[in-house]
Structure 1
Amino acid sequence: MKRKLLLPAIALLMLAISCKKEKEEMAPENASNNNTVVSGAVKRTATSLGAPVAEAKVYKLIPGYDKNEKFEASGVYYLDGFFYVVFDNRFKIAKIKSTLPINSSQNTLLGSGSGDSDFEGITYSNANPARFYVVEEAVQNGSNYQPRIREYDADMNYLSNKWVGYNFSSSNSNKGFEGIARVYRGGEDYILGLVEGTGKVPVLKKTNSKWEKIAEITLPASAAFSDYADIAVYGNKVAIVGQEDALLWVGTLSDTSWSFSGGTTYSFPTGNSQGVVGAGSNVLYGNVEGVSFISANQIVVVSDKVKSDQPSYQTYKDQSVHIFNLP
């Protein structure tokens, strides 16, 4: 009698498994889901971003370049239908149409200079006169290493630079500023920096001689990453990316104090060893170095070059521009 009952039960179980598998296979590729990730020593639940709205290798976007060129993207800013991208191995700054047209004359390199730039972030102020600001990670200044912020006009002509009053020792000089974001408050411009190794966010105000630190924001526990690669601000929304963890954090910037609150952690989508998003569990976006808001619900990120100790499948997404919707 028990055996007769067992066979129908097994059949029902197999049917349930089959239906679940069919449902998963029919789920749209850009659907988001929650997953558990570990960043540093912290285990957390992250919401997976869907497949990118669009993405492309930088060399494919700019006429006259091929796959042998290095575009080690480190920061990005969206403005009026274009992405302005900085590279730590180039002084020239890319201006790329946000529709990502391939090999298009709409995509250009601006400015001049040769060699490694150590550029790590870019932001923009629409105050009169309008200015772009680009940060060098950490440059030796006497016995210290300090970030240095370069100022450009609206046409990306270089104007001047000022040191940031924030010191790093030579032993950790590669843990300097990884990003900057402009905030307009009380009729004045401020810049938020982002320290790679600690996640501290110094609040900077420009004086006649330098960018002076007037406050410092500590990130909430929900943004505890292994490293910090860039920061972006859109109204009172703030976004921070971590390269090693392939994570994005979006929280709220206070209107009345220099502090962040709340926050949601997102993981970039995984894929297979051929770089196909949604077809496997490999971390594809392991080199995200820059982030900017396009709108409140859409971001652009850019990726650095894959390092020699990283898996080869991450080359499918390196040195690229990627557009994602926020769930």
Structure 2
Amino acid sequence: MSTGKVIFVITLLLTTIGLCSILVFLKPIVLEKELKRENRQTLKLLEETKLTDLLPKQESLYEASGVIFLNSSLYIVFDSDTFLAKITNFTHKSPDNSYIFSRESVESEFEGLSYDSVSGNLFLLQEALRHQEANRKPRYKAKIIEISIDSDQKSYTLVESCRVEYNFKTKNKGLEGIQIFRGEDGVKTAYLICEGNDCEGGKAGKKGRGMVLTAIYKAATDQSNCFWEVTKKSELPRYLHFEDYSDLSISREFKRAAVISQQDSGVWIANIENVKDVDWSQNGAVFDFPRSKKNKIFYCNVEGVAFLKANIIAVVSDKAKKKQPNKCTQKDRMLHIFEIPEHRNIRELRL
């Protein structure tokens, strides 16, 4: 074979190898874009009411941030107040809708709420508080507060307040949702969702990598205060493409998980087999909150989610921000009830 032919064959082979490498590299990018463009189904609104129309009197601005469904009632926390709201009647004011006030002085900025069926206590999540260590730059750590609701259902008592040993760089990009469960040994464990992608803020937090931390409770000793040790960092499916994450909820009864996004006005629903070892990377379905006729977002501030049934969720909304469009105020500080449409990835567990 002549030198010219040898050079031609080598060039052809190198070109082919190069093209294959490019295709292999581009394939996941193209796939992600296709999933991003996929037509999502929209949640069906069943009912919604402003929180001011549900509770006895206006105690605050009702900046709702978390919700759970317990014993036929919804318990709601707020990032601007230390009391909880208990709502049994979802449509109008009722004597059954009330407040539960703190007996002690407690910092607010609550971003999540969960229930422990073993102790019967509730757990409040604070997003990130300044934590200064000697000779080190300031860091921000979330805090989990355990409370016990008094028998009169009008007040609660602080049981314990413990830091989550995970450092955040900024105060406003910490943890947003909490789910408490017990391990095989009975030890309290928590799933905690980061607000920013990869648990970061700014540009670094917009890479499309939602994260759930697993943390184990460590009791106080003579040498140290109580704390929550982060033992695992799990990535949510890349196809979510959420810009932020405002809450998570797990239903043991219905074996389902939900993660909501405020910026994207959407919710991810997935089936789960093992509550104590959730596979956060598994397939699920993404649903949009209702849009305007021009496909504009107006559920701009969804902050908390809880399952009422396998195919029905309760959602609470925070106060609209000044920089947001006026239409966002129409759906802020509300309780919303939505039905989840059938979907091939989750329909088998509909009840």
Match of 2:215 among 193, 204, 209: 204
Matches within 5 A, 1:141-220: 141-142=131-132, 143-155=138-150, 156-169=156-169, 172-188=170-186, 189-198=188-197, 199-208=210-219, 209-220=226-237
- Of all paired residues, the percent bearing the same amino acid is 32
Q: Is the CA contact 1:111–1:158 (under 8 Å) kept in the aligned structure 2?
A: no
What TM-score does the superposition give when structure 2 sets the normalisation length? 0.73
Structure 1: gaps (5+ residues): 1-37, 272-278
Q: What residue in structure 2 maps to residue 248 of structure 1? A: 267
Q: CA deviation at 1:257?
A: 4.2
Amino acid in the other structure paired with 1:93: L
Size of the alignment, in residue pairs? 275
Q: Which moved more, 1:233-242 or 1:250-259?
A: 250-259
Change (3 A) 1:154 1:163: same
Q: CA deviation at 1:104?
A: 1.7
**Are 1:295 and 2:294 an aligned pair?**
no
Q: CA deviation at 1:131?
A: 1.1
Instruction: Please state whether the residue corresponding to 2:145 is helix, strand or coil.
Output: strand
In 1, the alpha carbon distance for the partners of 2:277 and 2:97 equals 39
Q: What residue in structure 1 maps to residue 42 of structure 2? A: 48
Q: More strand per residue: 1 or 2?
A: 1
In 1, the alpha carbon distance for the partners of 2:105 and 2:51 equals 18
The structure with the largest alpha-carbon Rg is: 2
Matches within 5 A, 1:75-90: 75-90=66-81
CA displacement, residues 230-255 of structure 1 (integer Å, 9 cap, x when unaligned):
00001232100000110000123452
In 1, the alpha carbon distance for the partners of 2:106 and 2:301 equals 21
**Are 1:109 and 2:99 an aligned pair?**
yes
In 1, the alpha carbon distance for the partners of 2:107 and 2:230 equals 27
CA displacement, residues 10-62 of structure 1 (integer Å, 9 cap, x when unaligned):
xxxxxxxxxxxxxxxxxxxxxxxxxxxx99x9434311111x22211111111
Instruction: Please state whether the residue corresponding to 2:37 is helix, strand or coil.
Output: strand
In 2, the alpha carbon distance for the partners of 1:115 and 1:124 equals 19
Match of 2:51 among 54, 58, 63: 58
Change (3 A) 1:238 1:206: same
In 1, the alpha carbon distance for the partners of 2:125 and 2:259 equals 16
In 2, the alpha carbon distance for the partners of 1:73 and 1:64 equals 16
In 2, the alpha carbon distance for the partners of 1:152 and 1:319 equals 24
Q: Is the CA contact 2:46–2:338 (under 8 Å) kept in the aligned structure 1?
A: yes
Cα RMSD, aligned residues only: 2.3
Change (3 A) 1:115 1:283: farther
